[in-house]
Structure 1
């Protein structure tokens, strides 16, 4: 995977990293970002971030956070927010957290205060009696999607602070979907309504 050291005349482009040009670029990035500096990639992504954020509660060191971060990168979310414990397992993120803005909130109150200050409606995703089907929900263009950790699901505090709580239709024998998978489904629900065509690779 990747590309070898640069061949030919040395390019004059401030976005390019001399070390990558000299040694090759074996990062897991799209072809258009080959040899780019990390800061240049982040700046380009920042210029076209989607206006939705994602948040996940992390009271019991949830191993799904890395998967959520990786998916948020794929859909170019405006930011990822970890509520609760600051530390999380980055292995599942596959270094995609380097290309995102990851924020920490020590409590639900701190998180909801931030969301209110940004004018972002909080949209929870979990299976409650009042949950509305994600498949028919009109997502706000600017919002923050919140996911509970594996097992306990959304806390009562987040549930109470949510303008809406969404459920994902299930057709099998169980009543649960892995938290990382549920986050991907919800993000893609937003993308289907607001994302538009993906840029070429």
Structure 2
């Protein structure tokens, strides 16, 4: 069963508790901003959510609407055949880099613990299998770029990385399925310098999304 998306790690009783975010709006209700984006409950009690300062006190709907107006042209897709714990981390990273959408291929359920509640702000779409996902990508006019260190993969820092595309990631361990690789129009890999053949799937996703943003994001 899925873990709740808003579970936080336990802390020791003797550790100091750090208050994150901001407290109630200074000055009380008479000083509250007259702006429909602001949440009256948050203004009254404070905002401890994991959001950037620009979104403090905003409603979740207002934040999503603002993100939707600025989302990048790349999508992220993940195969979910083995209930990979990295999926939540990849969703969180996709939110950080403002991906247009995250696509879960295979099992509908995925472990949300690693997402740290960012799935509330990130659009997530489910596809039953690679065939249905590939059909969606073709209909949207988006090339699928596989991320895996397989024969024919190009180093991501030197490969052609389209502005509008879907970055497709596989499971921790086995990587992408043969069907997924066949559906892709290209494949990229991350240059490594140590002894291990592969790196953590969540870390790999962060590297590739950062490379996309380094080239294409409007900073």
Same fold (TM > 0.5) = yes
CA distance in structure 1 between the aligned counterparts of 2:124 and 2:75, rounded to whole angstroms: 10
In structure 1, runs of 5+ residues without a counterpart are none
TM-score (norm 1): 0.96
Runs of 4 or more consecutive aligned structure 1 residues displaced over 3 Å after TM superposition: none
- Answer yes or no: is 1:82 the counterpart of 2:110: no
Match of 1:2 in 2: 21
CA distance in structure 2 between the aligned counterparts of 1:117 and 1:36, rounded to whole angstroms: 35
Match of 1:192 in 2: 214
Match of 2:77 among 55, 63, 68: 55
Match of 1:120 in 2: 142
- Answer yes or no: is 1:36 the counterpart of 2:58: yes
Q: Could you say what secondary structure the match of 1:146 adopts?
A: strand
C-alpha deviation, 1:100, in angstroms:
0.7
Match of 1:139 in 2: 161
- Structure of higher CA gyration radius: 2
Q: Could you say what secondary structure the match of 2:157 adopts?
A: helix
Alpha-carbon deviations, 1:26-60, whole Å to 9, x = none? 00111110000000000000000001000010000
C-alpha deviation, 1:137, in angstroms:
1.1
CA distance in structure 2 between the aligned counterparts of 1:51 and 1:194, rounded to whole angstroms: 9
Match of 2:203 in 1: 181
CA distance in structure 2 between the aligned counterparts of 1:86 and 1:27, rounded to whole angstroms: 27
- Within a 5 Å distance, the mapping from 1:11-26 to structure 2 comes to 11-26=33-48
Match of 2:95 in 1: 73
Q: Could you say what secondary structure the match of 2:66 adopts?
A: helix
CA distance in structure 1 between the aligned counterparts of 2:109 and 2:101, rounded to whole angstroms: 17
